[in-house]
Chain A
Amino acid sequence: MNHARLSWYALHVRSRFEKIVASNLSRRGFEAFLPTYKIRDRLNERHLEIPLFPSYVFCGMQEAEARLMLMIPGVMHIVGTGAGVKPVDEVEMAAVKLVVQSPLHYRPCRFREAGQRVRVAEGALHNLEGILAESGNKIGIVVGISLLKVAVLVEIGDASQVVAVSNTRTPVSRLLTALKPSDLRNAPGQDAEGAIEMSPFPSSEVDRTIRCIPATIVFDSSRQASLADARGVPVPARSLLLRTEDFDIHLQIRCERGHKEILGQILSRRRKDLARARFHLLRNGEELQAATADTLGEFNFTDVPEGDLNLQVDLPYLTIIGALSA
């Protein structure tokens, strides 16, 4: 068998033939994947392992081999779209594999396209991306295969294990399109509580499970030169402090040989989940760069363009937004 560039295709099989097809594929030298899950058979007091996506078996093959699959007992067809047979998205496939290989509890669920996208920051599902969902009194992530419109819900415990992924919070950033640094700047000496209050975001545009809070500029070395000296800000670096609730975001904007970079750190007295917070630099709602915080909450952006920018920080259940000019 030629193993050059294999893709995963979904085989539509006769009812209850999933294991037979997977076994026959393996016997013929194809890579087969049949995701299963366990249910409790209350009648016989034992656990049964049944297909996660009934009537589907995945096979690693080349497109040219698709028709051969029809000769395997139990296979009815190969799934595709109007344009013909189509492989399953590799990222989605990898996500499903990660879920079924993990020791966590998972089960099939309704396919969802909309919702808060999150990424698991640690543990067995590290880097798994999916849609945040509630599973009983726990938090779950829905991972789906869009070609088949099928999905699996995996329980991950508490919310501190996930960080939001930017693309679904982009609407929040888009709300900031008109937000200028001056809107979020305090007068010298004014504390965060006295900062300009931002109007609340329309609830229809923001996921209700995510709280969005604006961060205000409480210190800007370019405007408070005397204080900048006291803070030890090297010239030509510019220092900014954005503050909101319990969070301080320290930014240092440096310019070397015409290239600007931002070094930053997020600090909080109470929150312990700052490591792997996701930072997004945006302009007019479009993402320019993204970075993930290290264990100290530090991050950096390089080749920062001049002009008005927005900073978005994604934490579990919380998005912090701020505006600055570079």
Chain B
Amino acid sequence: MGAIPSFSGREGEKALSDLQYKEGRKEPDFVLEMNLRQWMMARPRLLDPEVQPLLKRLHEFARHVQSAGFGRALKNLAGDIADCSGTPDLTELIGERLCQGISASGNAIERKSLQETLYFCTGIVPELPPPEFGKRLESFLALSGSKGLIRLFLSAHLSNLIFTNLYDFLKASPPDVLRTRTEAIERICRKAAVAAVRSLNTWSEPDPSAVATLLSDLKAEMTRMMEIR
């Protein structure tokens, strides 16, 4: 576990195309690439240590939903859910409870990423009644498992971190360039997350070392993507 997957020449080509920000233009976005490199170099750990317990909680929540159903898992996590009328309430509640006490410095980005993850795995529908939301989450977990949920979270969280940390750089981009840059960042993060969770195949019970390995795999993937040129 934890081995960095090797890239064939074809995968390298694909990763390179991720950095191409203009359709029909065969030049990579050097400025974006440079900024991403600098950002990664400035971060010894790609994700904060607070993410480790969060991933563990997310995994446990997913397993609980799979074994006991969404209703019971939610009640176990959040207690009374009488006030939840639909998806926005549910995602907010789950995000808040999973993030509770994990960061002294505030966990707004983590909560945002968790909420987006829940939207992703329930079909990106603005308003779903709680039973339908639960049914969709159960279906997703039956198909993709907690690994799928963690993959979505890592992808969303990594891109949110980049959007926030490169805010000043991105805000100086004209609208069309901003669009292609954000899409490129999303694609890179998605690929890095997919590659990083490959090692989760045998991961039934999360332990601190397994989560640490997952996060280091994620950074290794990002670094590799930046270096393929």
Contacts and interface: CB of A to CB of B under 8 A. Distances in A.
B116 A74 contact: yes
B165 to A, nearest CB: 10
Contacts of A74: 116, 119
Interface string A211-249: 000000000000000000000000000000000000000
Interface in A36-76: 55, 67, 70-74, 76
Interface string B172-187: 1111101100100010
Given A14-B116, A27-B88, A55-B179, A80 B124 contact: no
A12 B112 contact: no
A148 B170 CA distance: 15
Contacts of B88: 20, 23-24, 27
A19 B116 contact: no
Contacts of B175: 10, 12, 79-80, 147-149
B163 interface: yes
Nearest to A20: B126
Interface stretch (A81-89, A113-121, A281-289, A294-302): A81-89
Contacts of A78: 171
Which of under 10, 10 to 19, 20 to 34, or 35 or more describes the interface residues of A?
20 to 34
Contacts of B119: 17, 20, 73-74
A77 interface: yes
Interface string A2-18: 00000000101010110
A27 B126 CA distance: 12
Contacts of B87: 20
A24 B119 CA distance: 13
A53 to B, nearest CB: 11
A20 to B, nearest CB: 5
B176 A73 contact: no
Contacts of B52: none
Contact of A72 (B112, B171, B176, B178): B112
Nearest to A13: B182
B124 A20 contact: yes
Given A76-B163, A77-B182, A16 B124 contact: yes
B27 interface: no
A71 B167 contact: no
B174 A14 contact: no
B115 A77 contact: no
B172 A84 contact: yes
Given A20-B119, A20-B124, A14 B172 contact: no
A70 B167 contact: yes
Interface in B169-220: 170-176, 178-179, 182, 186
B115 A79 contact: no
B132 interface: no
Contact of B163 (A70, A80, A84): A70
A79 B182 CA distance: 11
Interface string B134-177: 00000000000000000000000001100110010011111110
Q: Which of B108, B170, B178 has the most CB of A within 10 A?
A: B178
B171 A77 contact: yes
B127 interface: yes
Contacts of B160: 70
A29 to B, nearest CB: 14
B182 A71 contact: no
B91 interface: yes
B109 interface: yes
Contacts of A148: 175
B126 A77 contact: no
A148 B87 CA distance: 30
B126 A82 contact: no
Contact of A82 (B115, B127, B167, B174): B174
A83 B174 CA distance: 9
Contacts of B170: 77
B126 A80 contact: no
Contacts of A20: 87-88, 119, 124, 126
A147 B127 CA distance: 31
A80 B171 contact: yes
Nearest to A73: B115
Nearest to B89: A27
A107 B175 CA distance: 21
A14 B190 CA distance: 13
Interface of A: 10, 12, 14, 16-17, 19-20, 23-24, 27, 55, 67, 70-74, 76-85, 147-149
19 contacts: A12-B179, A12-B182, A17-B124, A23-B127, A71-B112, A72-B112, A74-B119, A76-B159, A76-B182, A76-B186, A77-B167, A77-B178, A77-B182, A79-B178, A80-B172, A80-B178, A82-B172, A83-B172, A149-B175
8 pairs of A and B residues whose beta carbons are closest in the complex: A73-B115, A19-B126, A16-B124, A76-B182, A71-B108, A20-B126, A73-B116, A79-B175
Given A71-B112, A73-B91, A82-B173, 16 more contacts: A12-B182, A17-B124, A19-B126, A70-B167, A71-B109, A73-B112, A73-B116, A76-B186, A77-B163, A77-B167, A77-B178, A79-B178, A82-B172, A82-B174, A147-B175, A149-B175
